[in-house]
Structure 1
């Protein structure tokens, strides 16, 4: 009887250790963050990197228009990875606001690195007048073991 209760206790202890490992969510790395700041605009992105499936989640985006100069401020993500060099959709601070924030995610296969651009856009023409790039945020996971 003593052997049976030891066996049951050992099995329960093993299940307590193995079950969370099998049921754990996808691997995630804490967010990488970059900012771009000038007298005219400010931009910030914080990216959470995930694997299984590969995705950037969450992506926290902030853009701020610091000048009343007739330009709209936009911000866009740029990634490099197995899908190649991708320039994603420009998000703009809405007319009448000085700042805007977005929360999103991205599934695009393995991504080696990401950065963003903050751009001044002509309010009437919609043409990009200038952009400034952030520093590069590298994927914190080592893909050699994937």
Structure 2
């Protein structure tokens, strides 16, 4: 009985050491977060960075319209990396709502950094009146060894 108990304890200890090694970098993900806040609008993104494959997953997005000023609030991701400077599609708070949230992902090669813009958009014209950028969120992984 004592030998069986020792084997179980040894196997459990080995599993806690070996499992993370087998998971490798594909399982590694680190999150960064930024917010933009004014009297008119609020935006927040939390980005999970992953490698092998290079992927932002999940990307959690929240946008809030805080003013009844005739503008629609939109939020869009901007990335810089191996595919260059990319401005991704705008997501807008639907008419009649004050807050919207989305969870998505992005797979676009190595991304060095990302930030987002919260924008006021003319409700009737669809033209962007103004945007405010978040702080830059840098990729927490070092790609020099890749």
TM-score, length of structure 2 as denominator length = 0.86
1:30 equivalent to 2:30? Answer yes
Moved segments of 4+, more than 6 Å = none
Q: Answer with 1 or 2: which has the greater Rg.
A: 1
8 Å Cα contact 1:36-1:133 kept in structure 2: yes
2:140 aligns to what SS in structure 1? coil
1:50 aligned partner: 50
Q: What's the CA shift for 1:24? A: 5.0
1:26 aligns to what SS in structure 2? helix
1:122 aligned partner: 122
TM-score, length of structure 1 as denominator length = 0.86
Per-residue Cα deviation, 1:54-110 (whole angstroms, up to 9, x for no partner): 000000000000000000000000000000000001000000000000000000000
Per-residue Cα deviation, 1:16-72 (whole angstroms, up to 9, x for no partner): 454552245714333100000000000000000000000000000000000000000
Distance 1:140 1:23, change over 3 A: closer
1:77 aligned partner: 77
Structure 1 unpaired stretches of 5+? 1-8
1:145 aligned partner: 145
Q: Distance in 1 between matches of 2:94 and 2:54?
A: 31
Number of residue-to-residue matches in the alignment: 137
2:26 aligns to what SS in structure 1? coil
Per-residue Cα deviation, 1:124-146 (whole angstroms, up to 9, x for no partner): 00000000000000000011111
Q: Distance in 2 between matches of 1:125 and 1:141?
A: 41
Q: Distance in 2 between matches of 1:23 and 1:43?
A: 34
